[in-house]
Amino acid sequence: MKNNQPARRLGLRGWVYAGKYSFERYLYLGHRLSGLGLVAYMVLHIVETANRMRGEQAWAELMALFASPPFKVIEYLLFALAVFHAMNGIRLFLVELAFFSGKPQEPVYPYKSSVLKHRPLTYVVMILAGLLMALGGSSLFFP
Amino acid sequence: MRETRFWSLHILVVPLILILLGAHFAIMHYAPIFYAMSVEKAREFATMIERGKSVGQFVIYILLLAAGLYHGLYGTRGILRELPLPATLAKWVDVGMVIFGVTIFALGVYVTWWTFSFDWGG
């Protein structure tokens, strides 16, 4: 299989190089990075929870470590990553299924971008994500 | 067609992850809001064992484990396969992802089963 398509030739650079950047392009990058972060965390989380098999004392020590301020901040960052990834994923799901994209039209010049048609959805979803992050942060740091 | 099925499954598990991860967050991280229980209490060994002995909890965790790992590792595989890799290496990415996923899933299932069958006297 030859990898001679321009997009693939760009490799990792293709993630951030999109010529004329738009808001959605940054969301795309954020979705990928947050996804990779969450996968790494999920694997660590599965391994870390296996610590319970070492007994009650070992578990209590681990939980005490996680209750320390640095881990609280990390926990919140993970929560924020999960909220961003989930909310942006819902947006992608809706756009993928052609919701909020308007009715199909003849491709007559000057072409209209479907991205602009669902831009309001993008803003609403991101505002909701911001609210959820703020709510999660307030209950985590000020219980 | 096989790739379409993999991709569709990756999308179809999303509602399951949203519901189950939401429940996981509610139980483990936001227990004061949803269960009137402190986070420290929710994470105590005894509380965790008591929770883990419920059949519902056991099923929820196995499903979340399977759905989360599949969604995450399929996404990672997609990112890696977009790189200009030689065909042989691309094939190894697939094989590596399956082996890694099955290993982590097996560990997760074993820990969940260990909790489910925990005996205080044993």
Is A6 at the interface with chain B, CB within 8 A?
no
* Residue predicted with more confidence, B75 or A114: B75
CB atoms A86 and B111 under 8 Å: no
Predicted local confidence at residue A116, as pLDDT: 84
Residue type at A91 in one-letter notation:
R
B33 interfacial to chain A (CB closer than 8 Å)? yes
Structural domains of chain A ordered from first start: 21-141 (1.20.1300)
**Using 50, 70 and 90 to split pLDDT, how confident is the model at B35?**
confident
d(CA B77, CA A137): 32
Higher-pLDDT residue of B98, A12: B98
> Is B84 touching A (CB cutoff 8 A)?
yes
Interface residue B107 vs chain A (CB under 8 A): yes
Retrieve residue A52's tokens. 């319970």
A97–B contact, CB cutoff 8 A: no
Does B56 contact chain A (CB < 8 Å)? Answer: no
Contacts of B73 in chain A (CB under 8 A): 39
Token output for B26? 């509610």
Gap from A77 CA to chain B (nearest CA, Å): 13
What pLDDT was estimated at residue A1?
46
Q: What is the pLDDT of residue A89?
A: 94
Cβ contact (<8 Å) for B104 and A53?
no
Quote the pLDDT of residue B67: 97
A7 has pLDDT over 70: no
* pLDDT tens per residue, range A35-90: 999 999 999 999 999 999 999 999 999 999 988 889 988 988 998 999 999 999 99
* Angstrom distances, CA of residue B1 to CA of B4, B5, B6, B7, B72: 5, 6, 9, 10, 21
Which of A63, A139, A143 lies closest to B43 in CB terms?
A63
Contact flag A52-B111 (C-beta cutoff 8 Å): yes
Write out chain A residues lying below 8 Å of B90, CB-based: 1
- Averaged confidence pLDDT in chain A: 85
ipTM of the modeled complex = 0.89
Which of A127-131, A137-141, B14-18, B46-50 is the least confident region? A137-141
What does the H/E/C string look like for B51-105? HHCCHHHHHHHHHHHHHHHHHHHHHHHHHHHHCCCCHHHHHHHHHHHHHHHHHHH
**B18 reaches A (C-beta below 8 A):** yes
Nearest to B93 by CA among B106, B69, B75, B109: B75
Binning pLDDT at 50, 70 and 90, where does residue A18 land?
low
The reported pTM is 0.86
Most confident of A52-66, A115-129, B30-44, B93-107: B93-107
pLDDT the model gives residue A113: 80
Domain covering B3-116 in this structure, CATH number: 1.20.1300
Burial A92-128 (b: 16+ CB within 10 A, else e): beebeeeebeeeeeeeeeeeeeeeeebeebbeebbee
